[in-house]
A and B are shown apart, each in its own frame.
Chain A
Amino acid sequence: MIVKHVWLKRTVQSTVLVYFLLLIVVPILGVYVQGLSEGWTKFADSVIQPIAWDAVLRTLQLAVIATLINTVFGTLIAWVLVRYRFPGRRILNSLVDLPFALPTAVGGLMILLLLGPQSWLGSFAKSHNIEIVYQQPAIVIAMIFVTFPFVIRTIQPLLEELDPAEEEASYTLGASRSGTFWKVIFPAMRPGVIGGAMLAFSRALAEFGAVVLVAGNIPGKTLVASVQIYGNVESYNPTGAAAVSVVLLTLSFLVLWSVNLLTARRDER
């Protein structure tokens, strides 16, 4: 009876591990193998060719802008939602997750409806010679929208955990409000600010659905890396697609790895 039981348990466990390897590990290795299958020079050629390289650089640049904006507003909003009690707080707090729950294609469509040529805001901007939709600002807005929850959701638990006694001690010892904020409260929030920002950055790098709808996808102007990869897939160039994917994947893995290091260090403390 016991022997049979152990045998069953081992079978289930091996099945789970094999499923895990086949679904996650093998496909990721597959991209690296395909991307590098025709040697380093071919790989470098596919990446350095102007359209691809330009798309990767633009993605990095716009993702940094979106992340910075999100970090500033996210920190402020996390603070307000944890520290203050005001009407509507609970509803706003649940709404934070909306970009996670909403399909990204719908998110892109929302931005089009709001800022597109037919809309009130769009025509207003147009009459002042500002173009938003199908231009870089729209890409940044789409990135901000999809990464909105990350910074808020990583800072909130840290602020809730912060012991009020520490702050009170700081005030009792005569520190000013801003002194207390920068010496006591901010250090407690910092891992959340950095970790949340990095998660938001890696998500912004990877975003496709919201961006493809609002960007004009013009090579050299509004083409981002994920859309460039999609274009290569559609034009039957899997090796080119895989080469750019290798660059993008490696970047995202580095970001994810640093986030893990950061949280591991915090847990040790």
Chain B
Amino acid sequence: MIRRVGITITYLVFLVFLIIPLGKVFTSAVSLGTAGFWNALTRPEALHAFLVSAIIVAIVTVLNTLFGVLLALLLVRETAISRRLRHLLNSIVDLPFAVSPIIGGLMILLLLGPHTALGTFFEAQGVKIVFALPGMVLATLFVTFPLMVREVMPVLQEVGTQQEEAAYTLGANGWRTFWRVTWPSIRWGVLYGVVLTIARSIGEFGAVLVVSGNIINKTQTATTLVYQQVENFNYVAANSIALVLAALSIVILLLLEWAKKRKEVF
């Protein structure tokens, strides 16, 4: 009895909050026929927005993976830094989770915006940061930072140091030990972190909206384009782009499932 009620409520909540809304995006996008859907997607500003999003995702994923793995190694393995300091750094890693994306964007404006010392300095060098790609990459790096560190750290803690010590004892150097011993044990965790980073960078909206200025054909990303089209009551265009983004998220969910399974097998 309790079982049946519980399962029914679970199905209802999923239907109402997740499945029906998701279906609605699909049906609305194609409601005016596939031609309208296709037109909305192939307009120059839509193509440009997807391109900007793709560039951001590529740069952020590479940097975040590199620095995330290195920081995780440092926080878990480096004994030269005192325990207390590592503990402090460890709790700072989570801060971006607690920061509203809007505030994340505001931070970059305050530090590098047009009226700041750093901003005018870079402007004089001919490098535009705010209202341009570098600022958007910085904002996305900020919000995605904890994802990789938080995936890799527990795996490193779980494997322990025995195998690495054995490798050292047998004469392997640090580089070789990393690629032969450490990397095979963390790679599925890293993959999971990469997928999470990609998902978050495609979806980031608030921080990017603030630092980009949302300029059509220049700094507009796929998500800020959806926002602009909704504000202009242009629902067909908004839906078409949202549909592509929603399809991408489903692919990401499937990838996450797969990576999770591999992680458990290990």
- Which residues of A are interface residues toward B (Cβ below 8 A)? 5, 9, 12-13, 16-17, 19-20, 23-28, 30-31, 34, 73, 76-77, 79-81, 84, 86, 88, 92, 94-95, 97-114, 119, 144-145, 148, 202, 205-209, 212-213, 225-227, 229-230, 233, 238, 241-242, 245, 248-249, 252-253, 255-257, 260
Expressed in whole angstroms, the minimum distance between the Cβ of A7 and any Cβ of chain B is: 13
CB atoms of B89 and A233 under 8 A apart: no
Pick the contact of B74: A13, A109, A242, A249 (CB < 8 A). Answer: A13
Expressed in whole angstroms, the minimum distance between the Cβ of B117 and any Cβ of chain A is: 12
Chain A residues, CB < 8 A from B242? 105-106, 109-110
From A213, which residue of chain B is reached at the shortest CB distance?
B230
> Given A30-B111, A101-B252, A101-B253, is A248 in contact with B10 using a C-beta cutoff of 8 Å?
no
Chain B residues, CB < 8 A from A212? 227
Chain A residues, CB < 8 A from B252? 101
- Which residues of B are interface residues toward A (Cβ below 8 A)? 3, 6-7, 9-11, 13-14, 17-22, 24-25, 28, 67, 70-71, 74, 78, 89, 91-111, 113, 138, 141-142, 145, 173-174, 199, 202-206, 209-210, 222-224, 226-227, 230, 235, 238-239, 242, 245-246, 249-250, 252-254, 256-257
Expressed in whole angstroms, the minimum distance between the Cβ of A64 and any Cβ of chain B is: 17
CB atoms of B6 and A30 under 8 A apart: no
Q: List 10 A-B contacts (CB under 8 A).
A: A28-B95, A97-B253, A98-B18, A110-B22, A113-B28, A208-B102, A208-B206, A227-B102, A252-B100, A260-B91
Pick the contact of B99: A76, A103, A104, A252 (CB < 8 A). Answer: A252
Chain B residues, CB < 8 A from A145? 17, 21
Chain A residues, CB < 8 A from B205? 103-105, 208-209
Q: Could you tell me the distance between the alpha carbons of A145 and B103 in the complex, rounded to whole angstroms? A: 21
Q: Is the interface of A mostly helix, strand, loop or mixed?
A: helix
Pick the contact of B3: A84, A103, A106 (CB < 8 A). Answer: A84
Expressed in whole angstroms, the minimum distance between the Cβ of A96 and any Cβ of chain B is: 8
Expressed in whole angstroms, the minimum distance between the Cβ of B54 and any Cβ of chain A is: 14
Interface Cβ pair total, 8 Å cutoff: 227
From B98, which residue of chain A is reached at the shortest CB distance?
A252
CB atoms of B17 and A144 under 8 A apart: yes
Expressed in whole angstroms, the minimum distance between the Cβ of B50 and any Cβ of chain A is: 13
A23, A105, A111 interface centre (most CB from chain B within 10 Å): A105
Chain A residues, CB < 8 A from B141? 23
Chain A residues, CB < 8 A from B19? 95
CB atoms of A256 and B95 under 8 A apart: yes
Q: Could you tell me the distance between the alpha carbons of A30 and B112 in the complex, rounded to whole angstroms? A: 11
Chain B residues, CB < 8 A from A79? 6
Pick the contact of B223: A34, A103, A241, A242 (CB < 8 A). Answer: A103
CB atoms of A229 and B24 under 8 A apart: no
Pick the contact of B7: A24, A84, A100 (CB < 8 A). Answer: A84
Expressed in whole angstroms, the minimum distance between the Cβ of B67 and any Cβ of chain A is: 5
From B107, which residue of chain A is reached at the shortest CB distance?
A27
Chain A residues, CB < 8 A from B78? 13
Chain B residues, CB < 8 A from A94? 253-254, 256-257
Q: Could you tell me the distance between the alpha carbons of A102 and B206 in the complex, rounded to whole angstroms? A: 14
Q: Could you tell me the distance between the alpha carbons of A191 and B226 in the complex, rounded to whole angstroms? A: 38
Expressed in whole angstroms, the minimum distance between the Cβ of B96 and any Cβ of chain A is: 6
Chain B residues, CB < 8 A from A242? 106, 110
CB atoms of A106 and B25 under 8 A apart: yes
From A145, which residue of chain B is reached at the shortest CB distance?
B17
Q: Could you tell me the distance between the alpha carbons of A105 and B227 in the complex, rounded to whole angstroms? A: 7
Pick the contact of A20: B25, B67, B249, B254 (CB < 8 A). Answer: B67
Pick the contact of B106: A19, A105, A241 (CB < 8 A). Answer: A241
CB atoms of B203 and A20 under 8 A apart: no
Chain B residues, CB < 8 A from A13? 70, 74, 78
CB atoms of B102 and A229 under 8 A apart: yes
CB atoms of B110 and A103 under 8 A apart: no
Pick the contact of A31: B6, B107, B227 (CB < 8 A). Answer: B107
CB atoms of B249 and A98 under 8 A apart: yes
> Given A24-B95, A230-B210, is A76 in contact with B71 using a C-beta cutoff of 8 Å?
no
From B142, which residue of chain A is reached at the shortest CB distance?
A23
Chain B residues, CB < 8 A from A207? 100
Chain A residues, CB < 8 A from B203? 101-106
CB atoms of A213 and B227 under 8 A apart: yes
